[in-house]
Amino acid sequence: MIRTMLDLVKRAELLKPKVMVVAAAHDHPVLEAVVMAKDAKLIEPILIGDKQEIEKILHELHAKMSDYQIIDEKDLVKASEEAVKLVSSGKGDILMKGFVDTSVILRAALDKEFGLRTPNRISHVSVMEIPAYHKLLMMSDGAMNIDPNVDIKQEIIENGVEVLHAIGVKHPKVGMIAAIEKVNPKMQATLDAVELIERNRNERIKGCTIGGPFALDNAINQEAAMHKGVTDPMAGDVDFIVMPQIESGNVFYKSMMFLAGAKSASVIAGARKPIVLTSRADSKESKFYSIALSCLIAEAK
C-alpha cells in the first residue's frame, strides 16, 4: 500500500516511462523537477518553449541534452496549444504547465476542438504526506472550483476517487468537511454532505464511501471524534477530504505545507489526461512528486 511519497515514487518507477509534454518549459524550477523525473526514469520529456533558454537551464542543471526533445516556440499561447495537441493526439501521456499563466494553459486544455475535455468538470487534487497523519490524505479543491454546489462537489468527489483508485486505494473513505459535525440548515456544507451521502447510498456516486458532515478534527483524529460523540466508522481514518469552498481548501493546503512539514503531489483531475499544474511556491520536490502521481494516473487511464 502507498503510505508515503517515497512509496508513490517507487510505484511509478515500476512503470514504463510516460511521455510528458511541458508547455513553456523555459522555467528553472519546473525543469529541476523534470530532470529529477527523467533521471528517475519516470518520464520521456518533450519540452516546448524558448529553446535557447531551455538549453541554458538544462546545462545549468547538468542534464544530458540528448535526453530531451525540445520544440522551439517562444509564444506562450502557441506553446500551450502545441503541448495540448500532442497530448490530446496520443503522442503524450501527461501535460505539465511551465512558465505560462494558468488561464492560458487551461484555455488550451479545455478547447472544444483539440483539448482534453471530458463530460466532467476538472478539479484540483492534492495528495499529502502529513507527519501527524497515519496515511496519505487527499484534499480537494483548493485551487480550481471557488464555491462548488452539491452537483459540482459530486464531480470533485468522482475525480478524486479516480485518482485514489490509480494509486491503489480500492474503496476510498471520503469525508465531507464543514465547520461542525452536525447538520445545520443555515450551513450549506452540512446539507450538501447529507445529500452526497444519500447519492452514494443510492449508487449515484460509486467506488467509495462518503461520510459526514465532519469538522476537520473528527475527520482526521479518532480521539477528537470520540470526545465529540461522532460514531461514523470512518471518523479519524478518511482518505479524502472534500472542502466546502476554495478558501478552506487553499488555507488547509498551505498550512500543511508551510507549518506542518507536509509533502504533497498535486494534479488537475477530470481531464482525459493528467495535468501537472503546480504553484510557483511549490518546491521542486512537490513538483517531482506531482509528476510521479501523474504517471500513476496516466497508467490507470
Q: Show the domains of the chain with their CATH numbers.
A: 5-117+271-300 (3.40.50.10950), 123-258 (3.40.718.10)
Quote the DSSP letter at residue 68. -
Q: Note the pLDDT of residue 301.
A: 84
Q: Residue 14: is its pLDDT beyond 90? A: yes
Tell me the H-state helices in the chain. 5-13, 28-39, 51-60, 76-88, 102-109, 150-166, 188-201, 216-220, 222-227, 246-258, 284-300
Q: Do you find a cis peptide bond into 239, omega within 30 degrees of 0?
A: no
DSSP string, 171-193: S-EEEEE-SSSS--TT-HHHHHH
**What would the grid cell of residue 70 be?**
525540445
Strand order of the β-sheet with 275-276 is 69-72, 43-49, 18-23, 94-97, 275-276, 263-269, 123-129, 137-140, 240-242, 173-177, 209-214
Task: Give the pLDDT mean for 71-97.
Answer: 97
For 196-232, the pLDDT digits (tens) are 999 999 999 999 999 999 999 999 999 998 999 888 9
Quote the DSSP letter at residue 17. P
Quote the DSSP letter at residue 267. E
How many Cα atoms sit within 13 Å of 231 on the Cβ side?
A: 0
Contact 287, 294 (CB under 8 A): no
Going 143 to 141 to 117 to 88, the CA torsion angle's sign is positive
- pTM listed for this prediction: 0.95
For 120-176, the pLDDT digits (tens) are 999 999 999 999 999 999 999 999 999 999 999 999 999 999 999 999 999 999 999
